[in-house]
Homo-oligomer: A and B are copies of this chain.
Amino acid sequence: MFSAVSKSWWANILLYGLSLGLLLAALQFSQYRLLTQGNAEKWYIGLVAALFAAIGIWAGKKLIQKNDPQPAFIVPEFRPKEEVLERLGITPRELEVLEQMALGLSNQEIADKLFVSLNTVKTHSSNVFSKLGAIRRTQAIQRAKEMGLIA
């Protein structure tokens, strides 16, 4: 995720630099044609200014959009924070139960989905609660979300 953001960012920087370079080149080229006509300078300067303001707006827009970590449609791929899991001693199975809980499933439904008994799910969820310092499943979900354990 971090590398992806950096990559987009550098791509935009390069893109912006490239566009700026190209425009400067075009500018250099047309300079000799226009400057010979005498009083065209003020229009020329104005045009350049407007053009670069426009490209600036465009570039700024692009940069901001990429810097914002909330694209929401590109890659919502979620990864639970391993360090928190280890610190709290939450096992993989317990995390699975926690995830299903957050989806709004009952213990019985989780049991069916994970092919274990209802009692097993209860045990797992009880362990999760104590490890999260929660006394209700809604509380556990809330805490897990703000800790980055579940999406």
Taking the complex as formed, is A65 at the interface, i.e. its CB lies under 8 A from any CB of chain B? yes
Chain A binding surface, main DSSP class: helix
Residues of B within 8 A of A75 (CB): none
Q: List 13 A-B contacts (CB under 8 A).
A: A20-B53, A31-B42, A35-B41, A49-B52, A52-B56, A56-B60, A57-B57, A60-B64, A61-B63, A103-B138, A104-B134, A104-B139, A104-B141
Our pick among B50, B64, B136 for the contact of A61 (Cβ within 8 Å) is B64
- Please give 7 more A-B residue pairs, beta carbons under 8 A apart, in addition to A57-B60, A68-B72: A24-B49, A45-B48, A48-B49, A52-B52, A61-B64, A64-B64, A103-B142
Q: What is the CB-to-nearest-CB distance from A99 to chain B, in angstroms, rounded to a whole number?
A: 11
Taking the complex as formed, is A147 at the interface, i.e. its CB lies under 8 A from any CB of chain B? no
- Interface size of A as a range: 35 or more
A positions within 8 Å CB-CB of B: 20, 23-24, 27-28, 31, 35, 41-42, 45-46, 48-50, 52-61, 63-65, 68-72, 101-106, 134, 136-143
Residues of B within 8 A of A57 (CB): 56-57, 59-60, 63
Roughly how many angstroms separate A54 CA and B48 CA in the complex, as a whole number? 13
Contact A45 B71 (CB under 8 A): no
Contact A104 B20 (CB under 8 A): no
Roughly how many angstroms separate A27 CA and B44 CA in the complex, as a whole number? 12
